[in-house]
Amino acid sequence: MSDILVVEDETVLARSIVAFLERRGFPARFAVDASSARAMFEEQIPRMVILDYKLNTDDGLELLRWMQQRDDRVQIVMMTGHGDVSVAVQAMKAGARDFLTKPASLASIAALASDLMLDDMGAGLDPVGVGRIIGRSSAANALRKHVKQLATAVLSGEPRPGVLIVGPPGSGKELIATALHESTPLSGTQVRVDCTLLDENATASLTEAVRAAESGTLLLCNVCQLERVAQASLLRLLDRSAAAPALIATANAHLSSNDFLPDLLFRLQVGWIDVPALSERTADILPIADFVARQLARAAGQSRPRWSSGARAKLLEYDWPGNVAELVNCIQRAMLMREADTIEATHIRPFSATIDPATDPVPTLRELELGAIRKALAQTGGNVSRAAEMLGITRDTLRYRMEKFELQRD
């Protein structure tokens, strides 16, 4: 097995993908239709195939199934139309390893190629700066770009204005705040304050935090919860500090001038980042899931986990109302549930679809018995003898129980 096969009917695009991959050290070839792709595949089995879903008159999914049958070790990446999640799901079910949405940037194709081809356990598992923002969606690319710009243009300016990061719960706001801090040239550290936890000693807590964050960044999580008195204290502390930290704040919604002192609001909202929900960046689901699973495997001294095609499809089909936090939690559970190296579809149980054994109501014995009798009668079309046989009791016992529960034969 060797190299990458690109199957793309637009010759110019195919050529530029191949040239780009080769410049990054991945030998690559291309085919512009299914029959030449089949011939090239037979001639030399590639390690990876980048396959366009729409190939003139040929069907990309059919070609994918054909390749999978020939050799299921080949890592196939399907290129689908923008927002076409159902095709991505079908491709996963047919055995694709991942997908890219068109138009895919050459950089994202190369990033995917290195993820899949460089299988070396542990590589890239401790990212810093914008590398922390895992994902191949255009939203993830835009976030990384925006973070880099704000880190130099805004946060490190003088006097130091702030950046507000807004997004739904669990979408990665705090992770982005850390990436932002690490991307600045500031010499100080990042100090985190959770505004929901500030009590009557808020001023003392803020005094300590501002001092510790001097020449660095002060991260105010859930800034909407910052009381007016604490806001005034914070402004005073910043004004008096010789090397005031830059402010980064996170919130689930944009700030209202009714709740904030204008001076703090202006200071905070110089730069801002909107973090989309995970359901709006489906292309990030598999890379984040794989990253988290690999990190957990490394911590437990295990080998790199594999994903069944059913598990990948299930991850893509779910809409993740709890965003990345819910995805991370689901992967942690999947890693505990799996028996071998592979994560199967049955191990993917998002929190909202999971029954908590601690609170799951226990049925009474009467409910269980009644349910079993009803089921047996339904499956036998009301035939008491056969239902009794199914239940492992005599016909007379079943009759007696049916009377007790006032059940009719049909």
Interface ranges with ligand ATP (CB under 6 A):
133-135, 167, 169-175, 221, 250, 288, 291, 324-325, 328
265: tokens are: 């609001």
Residue 68 backbone phi and psi in degrees, to 5: -60, -40
Q: How far is the CB of 288 from ligand ATP (least distance, A)?
A: 5
> How many Å apart are CA 203 and CA 214, to the nearest integer?
17
3-state secondary structure of 39: helix
Task: Give the largest CA-CA distance in the chain.
Answer: 91
> Is residue 251 packed enough to be buried (19+ CB in 10 Å), middle (13-18) or exposed (0-12)?
buried
- DSSP-derived secondary structure for 158-171: SS---EEEE-STTS
> How many Å apart are CA 98 and CA 91, to the nearest integer?
8
Count of Cβ atoms closer than 10 Å to residue 224 Cβ: 17
Q: Which residue's CB comes closest to ligand ATP?
A: 172
For ligand ATP, the closer CB: 8 or 284 = 284
Q: How far is the CB of 134 from ligand ATP (least distance, A)?
A: 3
Beta strand extents in 275-404 (DSSP E only): 306-307, 342-343
For ligand ATP, the closer CB: 124 or 371 = 124
For ligand ATP, the closer CB: 46 or 172 = 172
For ligand ATP, the closer CB: 215 or 225 = 225
Would the CA dihedral through 369, 375, 376, 378 be positive or negative?
positive
For ligand ATP, the closer CB: 293 or 311 = 293
For ligand ATP, the closer CB: 34 or 137 = 137
HSE-up (13 A, CA, CB side) for residue 21: 26
